[in-house]
Amino acid sequence: MNYQNSLAFAIEQDRNDPLKDFRNRFLIPQHNGEDAIYLCGNSLGLQPVSAEQHITEQLNTWKNLAVEGWFQGNDPWLSYHKQLSASVSKIVGALENEVTVMNSLTVNLHLLMVTFYKPNNKRFKIIMEGGAFPSDQYAMESQVRFHGFDPKEAIIEIFPREGELILYTEDIIQTINEHADELALVMFAGINYYTGQFFDLEAITKARHRAGAYVGFDLAHAAGNVPLKLHDWGVDFACWCSYKYMNSGPGGISGIFVHEKHFENNQLNRFAGWWGYREDKRFLMAPGFDAAHGADGWQVSTSPILLMALFKASMAIFDNAGSINTLRTKSEALTGYMEFLIQEINQQHGEELFKIITPANPQERGCQLSIVCKRNAKAVFKYLADNGVIGDWREPNVIRLSPVPLYNTFEDVFVAVQHLAAAVS
């Protein structure tokens, strides 16, 4: 696309956008009586207009049917989570029975580690990206200690090369190969929360196969943002939150993926609960855990219906929007436009006031740009907020802006970058 630094260009792109009507399905925060420019979907997605209706329907079921709501009504709660599997599987590139919706992200990560982190005196090491989101770091550290190992010895973090900000795939694969004989698990984010780098998950998965270890991914910043093919790539497991790009509300329900190749492996441990018991015999209340087939067998606790109702509202929007590739096309165009406009600021000033640390290659990023502000960073961020641009701040001087294709526009991007330019003038 040949971008132009003009409002007329932005408006024309919005006029021709096949997804333009989906913005009306979300509630936009207000600033001085007008729609704010919300570029923080990487942290919390916007509320679907239909969310209140979905919640109200389930409250009415509770009111009118009480406990019988598990078995009666239009959406019996006993199988409510299954209504989400088809939508979620398309987003992460999985078979329907390889995904289920449950718990929250780090809880799910711990539950999956019970299954897929099986260290012994020879194989006990975990490889992860340096600077992973702290929750992942804490989870890995605690899992290693739980098994009696020292995190300093067991956890191998891969950091960028000297003077670089992003990781090279060849460095990741080389590290996996170097530690192949000691490796129990490769655990990476899909997209690094700080830099916005989208890792080559297929290449990482192939490398761990050769090393004889399991591989898992935290897809918090990837699910609903970039195309994924977890089944085809042969990923062992993954988990994600849904309140960022999948708009399920603050602290919304999470989900997991377990590849079907593991379904019949009785040697894999798991923490069991009644909700993960095979559904056709669940109410016999028999002793001895007999897991439900598929990812449902990793469930532990009863489905939180109200959280799932919020998620269902968003999934209906994704279903109507088409494939994740449709969203990806607009996402690449929006993010590319923001990148173009920021570089225009640098050229106009004759210096790099804003350094984009997210990869320039569209295939190596989602819709997030992480921007190092080299002059009065906190003041610039405050200026944006004071002018109705909602972004995200990361110490010491990084502003994260994420134009989400379902509800952001080219005009949003143009006006936001205009404010960014004004902030440093």
Is the domain of 222 the same as that of 202? yes
Which residue among 280, 302, 320 closes a domain?
320
Q: Is residue 375 part of a domain?
A: yes
Q: Give the pair of three-digit tokens for residue 184.
A: 């129990």
Is the domain of 153 the same as that of 89? yes
CATH of the domain at 299: 3.40.640.10
Is the domain of 290 the same as that of 403? no
Is the domain of 407 the same as that of 272? no
Distance in angstroms (rounded) separating the CA atoms of residues 395 and 381: 12
Full residue range of the structural domain in which residue 416 is found? 7-35+323-423
Is the domain of 197 the same as that of 186? yes
Is the domain of 75 the same as that of 193? yes
Is the domain of 245 the same as that of 341? no
CATH of the domain at 407: 3.90.1150.10
Q: Is residue 328 part of a domain?
A: yes
Which residue among 275, 290, 320 closes a domain?
320
Provide the pLDDT for residue 1. Answer: 84
Q: Is residue 50 part of a domain?
A: no
Is the domain of 272 the same as that of 261? yes
Provide the pLDDT for residue 360. Answer: 97
pLDDT tens digits for the chain (425 residues)? 899 999 999 999 999 999 999 999 999 999 999 999 999 999 999 999 999 999 999 999 999 999 999 999 999 999 999 999 999 999 999 999 999 999 999 999 999 999 999 999 999 999 999 999 999 999 999 999 999 999 999 999 999 999 999 999 999 999 999 999 999 999 999 999 999 999 999 999 999 888 889 999 999 999 999 999 999 999 999 999 999 999 999 999 999 999 999 999 988 999 999 999 999 999 999 999 999 999 999 999 999 999 999 999 999 999 999 999 999 999 999 999 999 999 999 999 999 999 999 999 999 999 999 999 999 999 999 999 999 999 999 999 999 999 999 999 999 999 999 999 999 98
Provide the pLDDT for residue 266. Answer: 85
CB 416 within 8 A of CB 389: yes
Provide the pLDDT for residue 190. Answer: 98
Which residue among 262, 288, 320 closes a domain?
320
CB 24 within 8 A of CB 3: no
Is the domain of 311 the same as that of 383? no
3-state secondary structure labels for all residues of the chain = CCCCCCHHHHHHHHHCCCCHHHHHHEECCEECCEECEECECCCCCCEECCHHHHHHHHHHHHHHHHHHHHCCCCCCHHHHHHHHHHHHHHHHCCCHHHEEECCCHHHHHHHHHHHHCCCCCCCCEEEEECCCCHHHHHHHHHHHHHCCCCHHHHEEEECCCCCCCCCCHHHHHHHHHHCHHHEEEEEEECECCCCCEECCHHHHHHHHHHHCCEEEEECCCCCCCCCCCHHHHCCCEEEECCCCCCCCCCCCCCEEEECHHHCCCCCCCCCCCHHHECHHHHHHCCCCCCECCHHHHHCCCCCCHHHHHHHHHHHHHHHHHCCHHHHHHHHHHHHHHHHHHHHHHHHHHCCCCEEECCCCCHHHECCCEEEEECCCHHHHHHHHHHCCEECEEECCCEEEEECCCCCCCHHHHHHHHHHHHHHCC
Is the domain of 162 the same as that of 248? yes
Which distant-in-sequence residues (6+ apart) come within 8 Å of 200 by Cβ?
169, 172, 364
Is the domain of 338 the same as that of 230? no
Q: Is residue 1 part of a domain?
A: no
Q: Is residue 386 part of a domain?
A: yes
Q: Is residue 210 part of a domain?
A: yes
Is the domain of 156 the same as that of 180? yes
Q: Is residue 44 part of a domain?
A: no
Q: Give the pair of three-digit tokens for residue 310.
A: 């919020």
Distance in angstroms (rounded) separating the CA atoms of residues 161 and 367: 24
For residue 320, CA distances in Å to 40, 55, 163, 265 come to 23, 20, 44, 37
Q: How many domains does the chain have?
A: 2
Residue with tokens 């890792």: 199
Provide the pLDDT for residue 76. Answer: 96
Q: Is residue 403 part of a domain?
A: yes
Provide the pLDDT for residue 211. Answer: 80
